Amino acid sequence: MKSLKDKILQEGKVLSDTVLKVDTFLNHQIDPLLMKEIGEEFANRYSDEVITKILTIESSGIAPATMLGLTIGAPVVFARKRKSLTLANNLYSSSVHSFTKNETNEISVSRDFLTADDNVLIVDDFLANGEAVKGLLDIAEQAGANVIGVGIVIEKGFQEGGKNLREQGIRIESLANIKSLANGQVEFYDELI
């Protein structure tokens, strides 16, 4: 997606060979026009599927997932990283390790919002090692839901997550796939992988 790649090149900050900071438009401050375009792009890429629920993880996956939900008219369910008084029982849960934060969280979704009748599209901001997607796949499996695929805003193609998930037969659509962050420069894959 050209506009996303342009935004990454203009505003993204390469912090190391493995970390890209995109907090000016995706995961701290949000560019709503870009998020709208991202939602529409996911809708186009999955137009051959019937999606009844969009599943994401708080917090950076919520904006692109919501814009997709708005575009196709499907509810967005987000896995919470912390339990609260209102989210304590009757849950699907899974453990997820964050590459960027180097911490493990138990994520949870209420059983009221995900069922065996759902066709689910998982959406997230980044795909690195694939841990967040694996946790969301686990939750969908617990619910008996049918996962039709995964939509990723930015994939770090030089890490193993996308490759491993694709080898399991999971359809992944990444809007920007990064080949390298070496020497402080963002290099994209030219073709879909």
- The tokens describing 72, both together, are 């196709």
58 has binding-site annotation:
no
In a 10 Å sphere around its CB, with 0-12 CB exposed, 13-18 middle and 19+ buried, how is residue 89 labelled?
A: exposed
134 has binding-site annotation:
no
**What's the N-to-C CA distance of the chain in angstroms?**
14
177 has binding-site annotation:
no
Confirm if 111 and 66 have CB atoms less than 8 A apart: no
131 has binding-site annotation:
yes
In a 10 Å sphere around its CB, with 0-12 CB exposed, 13-18 middle and 19+ buried, how is residue 45 labelled?
A: middle
Confirm if 49 and 18 have CB atoms less than 8 A apart: no
20 has binding-site annotation:
yes
* CA dihedral sign of residues 118, 163, 182, 98: positive
90 has binding-site annotation:
no
128 has binding-site annotation:
yes
Alpha carbon distance 9, 118 (integer Å): 37
Alpha carbon distance 135, 113 (integer Å): 16
140 has binding-site annotation:
no
| Residues annotated within a binding site for 5-phospho-alpha-D-ribose 1-diphosphate | 128-132
| Residues annotated within a binding site | 20, 27, 128-132, 156
| Residues annotated within a binding site for xanthine | 20, 27, 156
